[in-house]
Amino acid sequence: MNSRMIIGALIGVGVLVQIAIGESGFAAGSLQLVHAAIGILGIFVVGAYLAVGRVSRVVTALTAVVLLVTLTQVVMGMGLMRWVELGIGLRALEESHRGTAYILFILGLVVSVVAAIQRRKAEKKP
């Protein structure tokens, strides 16, 4: 297992933990700061994934999209915590934040599949 695979697995686990915390309701309660810290840390972990070796341009581009969506997710979370004013109602912001979590999960799966395909193609070349 190389460092890119380990970081990718860490991202996947992080997204699942974040979804579990959010859907359980603890993100608005006792685990609010933990949820926020994991989200902010996620920016750096996705950035590390982007920086550690490039499998292909497609994987790099998809990872850049994941990074932008992660940044958006963190900003929405800050809006929910009222750290920043986004000019959107809390209910709409909460629904957007929840939906974006699932988008991140799906994007992570797509990046993983595309990276695996690209890795296999690279291994087959003489």
User: Using CA atoms, how far apart are residues 15 and 10, in angstroms rounded to an integer?
Assistant: 9
User: Using CA atoms, how far apart are residues 93 and 82, in angstroms rounded to an integer?
Assistant: 11
Amino acid at 63: T
Domain edges within the chain: 3-124
pLDDT band at 76 (very low <50, low <70, confident <90, very high): very high
pLDDT band at 70 (very low <50, low <70, confident <90, very high): very high
Q: Tens of pLDDT along 20-45?
A: 999 999 998 999 999 999 999 999 99
Answer whether 52's CB lies under 8 Å from 4's CB. yes
pLDDT band at 86 (very low <50, low <70, confident <90, very high): very high
User: Using CA atoms, how far apart are residues 56 and 68, in angstroms rounded to an integer?
Assistant: 19
Mean local confidence (pLDDT), 5-11: 89
Q: Tokens 């004013």 identify what position?
A: 85
